[in-house]
Chain A
Amino acid sequence: MKKTIITVVGHDTVGIIAKVCTYLAENNINILDISQTIVQEYFNMMMIVDRSNSEKHFATVAEELEALGKEIGVVIKCQREEIFAQMHRI
């Protein structure tokens, strides 16, 4: 499994999750977990996804998600899970 963490931060608006999920579905990236909160009207979402069945290279997915974020007006980051697991788990 190639676990990847996607974070979305920005002003809340209609259809953020829909657009991100559509992109992931189109690219055969499976969502394992979603958590989402609104802090002071700021939309804050984290997704754990598995991209082992996606044909696209990591960098391409990251760039396309970043571009999608700009379209919606939010910041989308895509990072490999290890960075978080290493830092927060012994």
Chain B
Amino acid sequence: MINIYEVNETNKMVEQENLDVRTITMGISLLDCIDSDLDVCLEKIYKKITTSAKDLVKTGEDIAKEFGVPIVNKRISLTPIALVGGAACRTTEDFARIAKVLDKAAHEVGVNFIGGYSAMVSKGMTPADELLIRSIPLALSCTERVCSSVNVGSTRCGINMDAVKLMGEIIRETAEYTKESDSLGCAKLVVFCNAPDDNPFMAGAFHGVTEADRIINVGVSGPGVVKTALEKVRGENFEVLCETIKKTAFKVTRVGQLVAKEASRRLGVPFGIVDLSLAPTPAIGDSVADILCEIGLEHAGAPGTTAALALLNDQVKKGGVMASSYVGGLSGAFIPVSEDQGMIDAVTAGALTLEKLEAMTCVCSVGLDMIAIPGDTKATTISGIIADEMAIGMVNQKTTAVRLIPVVGKGVGETVEFGGLLGYAPIMPVNPFGCDAFVNRGGRIPAPIHSFKN
């Protein structure tokens, strides 16, 4: 039987170390909402979302109460809208109308983000894909909760450099459209390589076409729990260190598995995956950077950071896979700058640069995440940064992503405040040398040799 020490350990994790279930995300397929008449399409979309997810928030709250574990977010991911709206939308304004309906549906069911305003263009763009991408600045400026993502590359297909070039411009334009709110629109826009179909985390969540009609995916978190566990093994060797992370990751993931199964049962929606990510928040003690410091670095970004992050990421996976029957999504350590107090401190101290962050993305999940850069950064430079990050994903057969925020009207040394889970960030310098000729070549980068596995 469970003993008092185990009960106290669990409750301490929740009360003092920020253990929580970061999100229950319901994936909803909108493929059956496709219609050549936009009004009909909009009506079907609204109805499908509001009926499918009507009990999502309430169920999440009930489960949180009964288990005594906070479930921070309830969210929805959708079939990439480029596919859903392609038959009906003729202009960017048409696509933005869909975004507004998604926003309205999100408000109606009470979720704080709705993802899937997306296009999958790793090899090429259909006219609908391109139209959706061009509508992103408008869509993100006239909605509050809609999140957008574009997959521009994969290990199997290579990198669509036309889309990379376009996304550099779109990110600039989104920043411009939302300049009154410190270019907040860009915080809801992710560029991917090898985007997973079942990611529950925003802003990059969408419901892939390989998925069932509806699905429940859960993302767990707990950087604070790992950090506290590591405090007890200071000075011990790597074997002890890794073992400690693994055991902790197991415990954290079990909570996610339990919540996912329970939510799935109550909602009558199949359980998809648990995403094992260590997702930080701006709250003190909920930081991935602090774990790196606990492993032995003065600041995230110091020499040794990439190795420390690599082992952390690997041990989280090793502990996590044992704890859940289905693991998926991004599963690894997230290193967003603005959402992690330790990362912010590292940037402010001058320990962490964009280049070091890029190196770190080779060994952990996701990529250059929530990084504020000067508002006058050229579109081609942004495209160049995207291309670099996509290349890392393509060659290493992993998901990589870019979520940069060129803050209009602000430069290096200034700070930008996004509020809530999105946090705040010091604006980081970008390499000033140009890459225009490279980005402007057009076409695509072929798939790497190791993609030919058949």
Binding site for B on A (CB under 8 A): 5, 7, 32-33, 35-37, 44-46, 48, 58-59, 62, 77-88, 90
B68 touching A77, Cβ below 8 Å? yes
A79 touching B251, Cβ below 8 Å? no
Across the interface, B2 reaches (CB within 8 A) one of A45, A59, A62, A88, namely A88
A33-B1 contact given A82-B258, A88-B251, CB 8 Å threshold: yes
Distance from B39 Cβ to chain A, minimum over Cβ atoms (Å) = 42
Residue of B nearest to A77 (CB): B68
A83 touching B69, Cβ below 8 Å? yes
Across the interface, A62 reaches (CB within 8 A) one of B7, B65, B251, B255, namely B65
Interface residues of B in 364-419 (CB under 8 A from A): none
| B69-85 contact mask (Cβ, 8 Å, vs A): 1 or 0 | 10000000000000000
B7 touching A46, Cβ below 8 Å? yes
Distance from A81 Cβ to chain B, minimum over Cβ atoms (Å) = 7
Residue of A nearest to B322 (CB): A90
Chain B: how many interface residues by the 8 Å CB criterion? 22
Q: Within 8 Å CB of B211, what residues of A?
A: none
Q: Is the interface of A mostly helix, strand, loop or mixed?
A: strand
A5 to B5, CA, bound (A): 13
Across the interface, B258 reaches (CB within 8 A) one of A7, A59, A83, namely A83
Told that A5-B7, A83-B10 touch, could you supply 15 new A-B pairs with CB distance under 8 A?
Answer: A7-B11, A44-B4, A45-B4, A46-B3, A46-B8, A77-B11, A78-B68, A82-B258, A83-B255, A83-B258, A84-B2, A84-B7, A84-B10, A86-B254, A87-B6
Distance from A45 Cβ to chain B, minimum over Cβ atoms (Å) = 8
A86 touching B7, Cβ below 8 Å? no
A35 to B231, CA, bound (A): 28
Q: Within 8 Å CB of B11, what residues of A?
A: 7, 77
Count of A-B residue pairs with CB < 8 Å? 64
| B1-31 contact mask (Cβ, 8 Å, vs A): 1 or 0 | 1111011111100000000000000000000
B66 touching A84, Cβ below 8 Å? no
Across the interface, B6 reaches (CB within 8 A) one of A32, A37, A79, A84, namely A84
A37 touching B10, Cβ below 8 Å? no
| B306-327 contact mask (Cβ, 8 Å, vs A): 1 or 0 | 0000000000000000100000
Across the interface, A5 reaches (CB within 8 A) one of B2, B62, B251, B255, namely B2
A79 touching B67, Cβ below 8 Å? yes
A35 touching B4, Cβ below 8 Å? yes
Q: Within 8 Å CB of B255, what residues of A?
A: 83, 86-87
Residue of A nearest to B252 (CB): A87
Q: Verify if B257 is at the interface (C-beta below 8 Å from A).
A: yes
A80 to B11, CA, bound (A): 12
Across the interface, A87 reaches (CB within 8 A) one of B62, B65, B254, namely B254
A59-B65 contact given A83-B255, A87-B254, CB 8 Å threshold: yes
